[in-house]
Structure 1
Amino acid sequence: MDRRPFATTTHWLRLGGLCALALGIALLDTLTDREIAIGVFQVVVVLLAAGFLSTRGVTVTALGCAGLVLCSYLATRTGDREAGLVNCIISLLAIVAVAALSLRLEAAKRAADAARARLVQAGRLSQLGELAASIAHEVNQPLTAIAASGNACQRWLSNQPPQVERAVQAAQRVIDDAHRASAVIARVRSLVRQAQVAKDWLNLAATVEKVLDFVRAELAERQVAVEVRLQEGLPPLLADESQLQQVILNLLLNALDALEGVAPEQRRLVIQVGQDTAGAIRLGVEDSGRGLTPGAREQMFEAFYTTKAQGMGLGLALSRSIVEAHGGRIWATSLPEGGTGVYCSLPKDPQP
């Protein structure tokens, strides 16, 4: 369902309400004595405009409010004219000051968003460094299979008489393995690319499965048993899939690091996706590692905090930033049986 017409209607309704409020304040200012500075309440209109209009829109709104204050002053016939002039100047200065502060705040928010985007990009590149061996392994598997199938195809065709049917089967295996290699490269590109946030309706369980496909070779290499618990019938979630994939990957990499030093037969991960009692979608990654100290639990989501010798301390901080940008929260706890559980909950949007 296309939600853009609804968003456009909402925008125009807000704009209409803003104009009505500004005109109402101006009318009240005109009907009261000059000594009463009703016009100063036009700053409320400017503040409301800053919540959903662009920089140009806020500027136009401030100019419009200033114009209404001047018109009210000229149209008011009762009260002391000198006091009215002072009140008019105060109202104009208040409108200008609030508009300037609102525009500066908007510029600061844009700068913060840009800085967060650069930090997310740095985290993605850091993840790729940690997963280099797994990526090489995943790409090497289909390439080796392509070489084997190509040699088989050549042998079948060189036979006398040529065994065309078997050669065709070998050629089909070459095509299938080429698609497998292409899929690996596509997943790597989705992690590396720096794109604008693009929210869409998605199934979080399917997103978890995609990330698991990406790290399956790494899990097998480290001899980690994985249990996936996916609740049936989960509602769709409005989110940026690329960013959620990064959160899931961060949690998995963090859990794998926690399993270092644990005996292979005891290495275990549990991945949970379900809906809590409040209706939010909940994701959890639990490991059977060494657990958390109270100090680590308090600091683990802070930027540049790490217990790894080669770690950057960005993964969990970026995960918190992404989850909070989606209106959710993330937390960690020590498990009674040992190990650590990291969970995040994301609010369920209205159904599309």
Structure 2
Amino acid sequence: MTTALRRFPHWPRALILAAMGVAMAAIFALDTLTDYAVAAAVFHTAIILVAVRWFSPRVVIGLTALCIVLTLASFALTPAGAYRTGLINMVISILAIAITAYLGLKMVAAQNAAHEARTQLMRITQTTSLGQLTASIAHEVNQPLAAIVTSGNACQRWLAQEPPNLAKAGQALERILGDAQRASDVIARIRSMARGEAPSRQSFDLNDAVREMARLSDAELDRRGVALDLQLAPALQPAWADRVHIQQVLANLLLNAMDAMQGTPAAQRRITVTTQALGQQLVLTVADAGEGLSPLARTHLFDAFWTTKPDGMGLGLNICRHMAEANGGRIWATDREDMRGGTVFHITIACAPATGDRSSTGLRHG
């Protein structure tokens, strides 16, 4: 009966209730006319299961009570059989009806609770995703915007000199334009990540990308009194990744390295960026001369919204991990091997495939 009802969910509930009434009457008649040894009343459990599927708990409880009353009446009206056997069967039938109703109502309550929990989870997830997206954009765009302000101030100083240093001012303006474009690219890439789009991979020179980011970071490095040492391996194979993603990862790591060396003596503030080939991968590393990572920091290093900085958002390294993994690489941190203290971040990047292999591997071209 249940299968038939599911096939025809458009049936009016009144018709379903009428059919259940007919079935209950048939069960009552069968239970009354047969011997005490036949526990036909147990078939009322099927009525309860149908009621649980189609009606409210109040109706289910009412039907359960009616089924129990009919079972008692049937026992009293049964004309033949062993009375003791009939009594036992009646008790078993009533217990089966009551337990079926109880479990059925519990199941419906659990389903409703699960549905409500899923609904709440979806709302929380949507809110969290929106919050993370907003925070990510704010965090990532803050870097080029801060660089624009720094370059703008430098440009004003160069122009205020007597005579104005137009060459230096022009360089500052170039940095402003570059950072403005980088902010636009960052927003576009984060929006793409939020929509679940694959990175726009392309073949590019990793060393050139590192040098470009180093030039864009010059003003901030100078402001903080940090030296930048580039140790770039010559004749590297082209990288195959989203260039903006890799540069943004590098920008985050450079900023983290500067923050890590705030308590380091000025003469020792140095960031070392290296590139090297490792099989069919390229490895980019960023090493600082700070205090290093505590055991707690290692545990939560790439967790969203976890930070040791008083004014930090805890998103930089989390975004770095997502960008690295989205491009088929990975990121991890180690202690420096020269025993000077500090942390080294390593990022792997795929080498560009041969021209004839790019279409067959299904990778997107930027």
TM-score calculated relative to the size of structure 2: 0.53
Q: Deviations over 1:79-137 (max 9, x none)?
A: xxxxxxxxxxxxxxxxxxxxxxxxxxxxxxxxx9xx98985664342144356543212
SS of residue paired to 1:284:
strand
Identity of aligned residues (%): 32
SS of residue paired to 2:319:
helix
1: CA distance between counterparts of 2:139 and 2:237? 32
SS of residue paired to 1:233:
coil
**What is the aligned partner in structure 2 of residue 136 from structure 1?**
149
Q: Deviations over 1:214-270 (max 9, x none)?
A: 111111111111111000011111211111111011111111111011111111110
TM-aligned CA distance change 1:179 to 1:215, over 3 Å: closer
**What is the aligned partner in structure 2 of residue 238 from structure 1?**
240
1: CA distance between counterparts of 2:305 and 2:215? 28
1: CA distance between counterparts of 2:299 and 2:152? 39
The aligned amino acid for 1:236 is P
1:341, distance to aligned residue in structure 2 (A)? 0.5
Q: Is 1:146–1:178's contact at 8 Å kept on the other side of the alignment?
A: no
Alignment of 1:233-272 (within 5 A): 233-272=235-274
Gap runs ≥5 in structure 2: 1-124, 193-198, 356-366
**What is the aligned partner in structure 2 of residue 318 from structure 1?**
319
Q: Is 1:204–1:236's contact at 8 Å kept on the other side of the alignment?
A: yes
2: CA distance between counterparts of 1:173 and 1:261? 31
TM-aligned CA distance change 1:292 to 1:175, over 3 Å: closer
SS of residue paired to 1:232:
coil
Which of 177, 184, 191 is the equivalent residue of 1:182? 177
**What is the aligned partner in structure 1 of residue 60 from structure 2?**
none
1: CA distance between counterparts of 2:268 and 2:291? 11
Moved more, 137-146 or 245-254: 137-146
How large is the RMSD of aligned CA atoms in angstroms?
3.3
TM-aligned CA distance change 1:128 to 1:221, over 3 Å: same
Q: Is 1:125–1:192's contact at 8 Å kept on the other side of the alignment?
A: no
TM-score calculated relative to the size of structure 1: 0.55
2: CA distance between counterparts of 1:189 and 1:288? 32
**What is the aligned partner in structure 2 of residue 220 from structure 1?**
222
Aligned length: 222
2: CA distance between counterparts of 1:216 and 1:320? 25
1: CA distance between counterparts of 2:333 and 2:304? 16
The aligned amino acid for 2:346 is Y
**What is the aligned partner in structure 2 of residue 288 from structure 1?**
289
1:279, distance to aligned residue in structure 2 (A)? 2.7
Which of 341, 348, 359 is the equivalent residue of 1:345? 348
2: CA distance between counterparts of 1:271 and 1:345? 14
1:325, distance to aligned residue in structure 2 (A)? 0.9
Q: Is 2:151–2:172's contact at 8 Å kept on the other side of the alignment?
A: no
The aligned amino acid for 2:186 is L
